[in-house]
Amino acid sequence: METADYQRILEDVAHEVAGTVGRGRVADYIPALAAVDPESFGIALADVDGGVYGVGQWQQPFSVQSISKTFTLALALARGGESLWKRVGREPSGNPFNSLLQLELENGIPRNPFINAGALVVTDELLSLTGGDASGVLLDFLREESGNDTVDFDRVVAASEADHGHRNAALSHFMAGYGNLVNPVETVLEHYFRQCSVAMSCQDLALAATFLARHGVRRDGGRFLTRSGAKQINAVMLTCGTYDAAGEFAYRVGLPGKSGVGGGILVVIPQRCTLCVWGPGLDERGNSVVGMAAMDSFTTITGWSIF
């Protein structure tokens, strides 16, 4: 497909979903997120050859939130390998309410690395693997892969998350009680909130994730993950990446994806490209309304799906 094609496809997608921009409910559990303009919309595509295309506010940073879980998972696997899977599963979590019940029945082992409990374990593992610099290592990686040195934590968002972080503190203490957090709970939470607070644009995220479309090869050609390691992260994204809407996302979009309550959705089309959409209005399952519509439109126009 030609460069011009990518740009045109994004424009077609943007045109098609224009009616859904602004729909849904902006996350308001912390003030910093609630303040975002609900009409925001951007979409970017980064191909495996380094090309990048975009429409709308595709270069405006937003709060990546849970999309950061994709990168911390990749870093933990790249540095520590498969032993992570002794501490966290890779099965879909079923339904939202059961995270705690599930933790209780399965002795403190979270179902997968994309529910909060699992991401806290990944952060804990990354803290151990990096000698305590889990957030720093993430930031370095994101800056290098996006080619944007201004990517940074949003300290206001991180502090606000901490102030409203009782649920994550509960999960952390609960797992610590089972011996499945080894660093101090406070440290794990601090790094976790910082990771969620990273501000990046659609362009930044699409570029930073291209290693997943290149089967583990970084932007500079160096290998970051094994071929099968990268495929496995894609598999986990497909089965667990969009909360309890993973089945619906696979059905409608048919591509590995990861969403965040900041309104971003990141998708991987293996061997071709990555795609990132942003629109802060969320559906009842916490996924961007316009983001879901855009992904749907994109796969209809291109006919691309992994199935």
Binding site for its own copies (CB under 8 A): 89-95, 97-98, 100-102, 104-106, 111-112, 166-167, 169-174, 176-177, 185, 230-232, 234-236, 238-240, 244-248, 250-251, 254, 256, 270, 305-307
Nearer Cβ to its own copies (95/150): 95
- Which residue numbers are catalytic? 66, 69, 192, 243, 261
Nearer Cβ to its own copies (63/234): 234
Please, what is the minimum distance in Å from the beta carbon of residue 3 to its own copies?
Answer: 25
Nearer Cβ to its own copies (61/270): 270
Q: Whole-angstrom Cα distance, residue 40 to residue 49?
A: 28
For β-strands 257-259 and 42-47, DSSP reports them as unpaired
Burial category of 289 from C-beta neighbours within 10 Å (exposed 0-12, middle 13-18, buried 19 and up): buried
Please, what is the minimum distance in Å from the beta carbon of residue 153 to its own copies?
Answer: 23
Q: What are the E-state strand segments in the chain?
A: 25-26, 42-47, 52-56, 62-63, 199-200, 257-259, 264-269, 273-278, 281-282
Nearest to 181 by CA among 239, 75, 103: 103
Please, what is the minimum distance in Å from the beta carbon of residue 163 to its own copies?
Answer: 11
Please, what is the minimum distance in Å from the beta carbon of residue 101 to its own copies?
Answer: 4
C-beta atoms surrounding 167 within 10 Å: 12
